[in-house]
Amino acid sequence: MRFTKMHGLGNDFVVIENISDDNMNWPKMARLLCHRRFGVGADGLALIQRGEMTAYRLRIFNADGSEAEMCGNALRVAGKYLYERGFVNEAVFRLEMQQAVKTLRLELTGDQVSAVEVDMGSPILESAAIPVSGPARMVVNEELAVAGLHFRITAVSMGNPHCVIFSDNPETVPLVEWGSAIETHPLFPKKTNVEFAEVLSTEEVRVRVFERGVGETLACGSGACAVLVAGVLNGALSRRAKIHLPGGALLVEWREDGHVYLSGPASEVFSGELREEMKKIAYTTC
């Protein structure tokens, strides 16, 4: 089984084509492959399969084996992979992920993809749909108590849940401790991604991300989108801003059509082949 290691600003994935055979225990394979000591090492497994609503679909399994509903960085990675390997021939195409269909626009330099813009769709702000427990509401600048600490949170879903907290200096935040406590708080019945964001200007923000099922990552595309939306809702950001993450910057825009657009690069690192023993282990159900 062939694989390709790719990343979007350091948010890295093991990419595998699985066009016809879907008998694999993919959560177990993700845990094996993503281990940074005993596997290839990655934040997630990006699985490219035949689509039902479009030609191809993307499935993302986090490092812990859980399946993600949405991932902006993985969508950009998949866009580069599909175009450069001839699966698609157009610079604008649609890609299926879970029950959503996303439009990708590729920026080309010759026959190579230098950047990808993803139409991430409209943000989900209703608490029940994010989901956030409690009465129906928009969760904007709401107080949350966790482990004796108090945070002001804004909750947004970009197809996956996010909890955005504006902070004076995210670099000093004990992200693993606070992020894991917030991720698993009862307020979030499906857990949540957590972003600590420092507003630098109305068009620029610095962010650190604790991803659900992964931990701290160098970048998060859906998280960058959630931060922009939260910034607009709190009157801190304009509708177009540069989102600085540890792995680099993404451009996010919440346009008049109501959709959020995410733009940034994707990179390929190397390809390889899995040993047959690992594939056989992943076919087991335990």
At residue 163, the pLDDT reads: 98
DSSP assignment of 210-227, as one string?
Answer: EETTTEEES--HHHHHHH
The one-character DSSP state at 128 is G
Q: What angle do CA 17, 122, 9 make, to 5 degrees?
A: 50
Secondary structure (3-state) at 164: strand
Model pLDDT for residues 104-118, shown as the tens digit of each residue: 999 999 999 999 999
**Rounded CA gap, 9 and 220, in Å?**
9
Q: Give the type of residue at 269.
A: V
Query: Which residue from 88, 83, 77 is spatially nearest to 44, judged by alpha carbons?
Result: 77
- CB contact at 8 A, 247 and 254: no
- CB contact at 8 A, 62 and 212: yes
Model pLDDT for residues 200-250, shown as the tens digit of each residue: 999 999 999 999 999 999 999 999 999 999 999 999 999 999 999 999 999
At residue 277, the pLDDT reads: 74
Q: Which residues are catalytic?
A: 71, 220
Structure-block tokens of residue 122:
């409209």
Pairing label, strands 193-201, 204-211: antiparallel
Query: Which residue from 193, 120, 208 is spatially nearest to 155, judged by alpha carbons?
Result: 193
- CB contact at 8 A, 9 and 73: yes
Please provide the average confidence, as pLDDT, over all residues in the chain: 95
At residue 89, the pLDDT reads: 96
Element (H, E) at 66: none
At residue 276, the pLDDT reads: 77
pLDDT in tens, the chain (286 residues): 899 999 999 999 999 998 765 678 899 999 999 999 999 999 999 999 999 999 999 999 999 999 999 999 999 999 999 999 999 999 999 999 987 999 999 999 999 999 999 999 999 999 999 999 999 999 999 999 998 999 999 999 999 999 999 999 999 999 999 999 999 999 999 999 999 999 999 999 999 999 999 999 999 999 999 999 999 999 999 999 999 999 999 999 999 999 999 999 999 999 999 887 776 676 665 4
